[in-house]
Amino acid sequence: MTEKQLMRGSHVIGEAAVRAGCRLYAGYPITPQNELTEYMSGAMARLEDGTFIQAESELAAINMVLGASMAGARAMTSSSSPGISLKQEGISYLAAQELPAVIVNTMRGGPGLGNIAPSQGDYFQATRGGGHGDYRVIVLAPASVQELADLTRKAFEYADKYRTPAMLLGDGMIGQMMEPVVFPEPVDLNKLPPKPWILDGAIGRPSRIILSLLLDTTVEEEHNWKLVRKYESIARDITSAETFMTEDAHLVVIAYGTAARIAKGAIKRVREIGLKVGLLRPVTLWPFPKRVLIEMSRQIKDFLVFEMSTGQMLEDVKLSLEGRSNIHFYGRPGGIVSTPDEIAKEINSLYHRQHLEED
C-alpha cells in the first residue's frame, strides 16, 4: 500500500496511525469525525495486537489512552470540538505524567454544541494547553490529505520522543476531502526506542510509579520547570512552517490548515492581476513559528492573518512580531468557510489601502 491512492482524510489519519504503530484507539461518536472512529474499529480488529474501544464518553476514551500509554503502547483518540473539551482533563494528566499520546481534533463550529461545519475556533484551546495547569501540547495543523498522513506519523514520533501529548488539529473539510496520498512504510514496533518508564509489572526491577500528585510545592515547581525545559527543546527541534510565493511579496497572508488552502487559492488569483502576495503557513501551531515570522518582517511590512475564527492565531502573530509590522485580520467564525474569491477581494482591497503597489 505504498503506491499512490485516493483516500478520504479521516481514513488517512486512521491508516497513518496504524502504520505509525498505534495499537489502542478509544473514541466516542461525534460528527464530523466518525469516519475515523469507524476506520479504526476495522483496522484494529485486523491487527493481532490492536485494541479498539468505543468508549462510554470522551472522558473514558482519553483515560483509556492514558492507561494504554502507561503500559507502553502507542495510543490515540479522536473527537471534534465539544468532545475535545471533555478530553482536556486527560490531556492535562498526560502532560503532567509525561505520557505520550495522540489526540485528533476535527474542529467544528462553536462555542457550545455549535454546528458540524469546518471551523478553527479551538486554536486557543489547543495551543494554550487546553486543560488545567501550566503545560503545552504539540499541535500540528495539516493542510492536505498527504500531510494528514505525514503529520499523523510525526505526531506519534514526537509524542514518544518528548513523552508528551501531541494533537492533530484539522476540521471537517480536510477530514472529508479525498486526495491522493502515499503512506510511509509501517514502523517495526520492535525497532522503536525502548521506554524504560512504562508500567508492565516490576519483573526483575524496582516497582515504578507514574503520578502527577506532587504535594511538595518545591517538587511541583521543579516538575513544572522540567516541563518548560522540555517545551523549549521541542520548540527548538520541531517548529515548522511552509512559505509560498513570499520571495518578492509585499504582503504575506498567514493562515493554517484549511484556511491556508483557501488563502493559497486567493493568492494565485491576485498574482494573476500582478499583486505581489505570498503565504506563510504554520505547520506547527505550538510551537509557533515565531522566528520565521520575525525574519520575514525584515522585508514584509504588512501581514494579513486569515482564520476561520474571530482571531485566535492572530494573537500569536502579534506576540511574535511585537509591533515589527502591520498586522491585519480577516476571519469568519461559526462554521462559515470563506471562498478564495472572498479572500482575494480582501487581499486586493488591503493591498491598495496600504499602497503596497508603490513599494
Partner 1 sequence: MEKKVFTRPRYLKDAVFHYCPGCGHSIIHRLVAEVLEELEIGEKTIGVPPAGCAVLAYNYLDVDMGEAPHGRGAAVATGIKRVLPDRIVFSYQGDGDIAAIGTAETIHAANRGENITIIFVNNAVYGMTGGQMAPTTLPGQNSTTTPGGRDISRDGAPLDLSQMLAIARGSAYIERTSVDSPKNIRRTKKAITKAFLTQMEGLGFSLVEILSACPTNWKMSPVDANKWIKDSMMNTFPLKVIKDKTNEK
DSSP string, 57-116: SHHHHHHHHHHHHHTT-EEEEEE-HHHHHHHHHHHHHHHHTT--EEEEEEEBS-STT--S
Whether residue 36 contacts residue 13, with contact meaning beta carbons closer than 8 Å, is answered with yes
Q: How far is the CB of 95 from partner 1 (least distance, A)?
A: 12
Task: Decide if residue 348 touches partner 1 (CB under 8 A).
Answer: no
* Residue 69 or 144 with smaller CB distance to partner 1: 69
* Residue 59 or 336 with smaller CB distance to partner 1: 59
Task: Decide if residue 259 touches partner 1 (CB under 8 A).
Answer: no
The C-alpha cell that represents 181 in the structure block: 496520498
The interaxial angle of helices 81-96 and 58-70, nearest 10 deg, is: 30
Of 261, 237, 275, residue with least CA distance to 358: 275
Of 134, 69, 51, 125, residue with least CA distance to 96: 134
Choose the stretch contacting partner 1; rule: CB under 8 A; options: 86-94, 164-172, 312-320, 327-335. Answer: 86-94
Which phi and psi angles does 76 have, rounded to 5°? -145, 150
Task: Decide if residue 66 touches partner 1 (CB under 8 A).
Answer: yes
Of 125, 39, 23, residue with least CA distance to 76: 23
The C-alpha cell that represents 215 in the structure block: 504535594
Q: How far is the CB of 202 from partner 1 (least distance, A)?
A: 5
* Residue 206 or 274 with smaller CB distance to partner 1: 206
* Residue 60 or 327 with smaller CB distance to partner 1: 60
CA–CA–CA angle 337, 339, 343 (5° rounding): 110
In the list 10, 33, 37, 69, the residue contacting partner 1 (rule: CB under 8 A) is 69
* Residue 74 or 250 with smaller CB distance to partner 1: 74
* Residue 203 or 273 with smaller CB distance to partner 1: 203
Whether residue 109 contacts residue 58, with contact meaning beta carbons closer than 8 Å, is answered with no
Whether residue 245 contacts residue 277, with contact meaning beta carbons closer than 8 Å, is answered with yes
In the list 75, 168, 293, 296, the residue contacting partner 1 (rule: CB under 8 A) is 75
In the list 6, 112, 196, 211, the residue contacting partner 1 (rule: CB under 8 A) is 211
Site string for partner 1, 94-133 (x = CB under 8 A): ---x------------------------------------
Write b or e for each residue in 262-292: b if 16 or more Cβ atoms lie within 10 A of its Cβ, otherwise e.
Answer: bbbebbebbeeeebbbbbbbbbbbbbbbbeb
Q: How far is the CB of 91 from partner 1 (least distance, A)?
A: 11
Task: Decide if residue 216 touches partner 1 (CB under 8 A).
Answer: no
In the list 29, 42, 111, 201, the residue contacting partner 1 (rule: CB under 8 A) is 201
Q: How far is the CB of 140 from partner 1 (least distance, A)?
A: 23
Peptide bond into 165 cis (omega under 30): no
Choose the stretch contacting partner 1; rule: CB under 8 A; options: 14-22, 139-147, 198-206, 220-228. Answer: 198-206
Task: Decide if residue 26 touches partner 1 (CB under 8 A).
Answer: yes
Binding site for partner 1 (CB under 8 A): 23-24, 26, 51, 53, 55-57, 59-61, 63-73, 75, 89-90, 93, 97, 199-204, 207-213
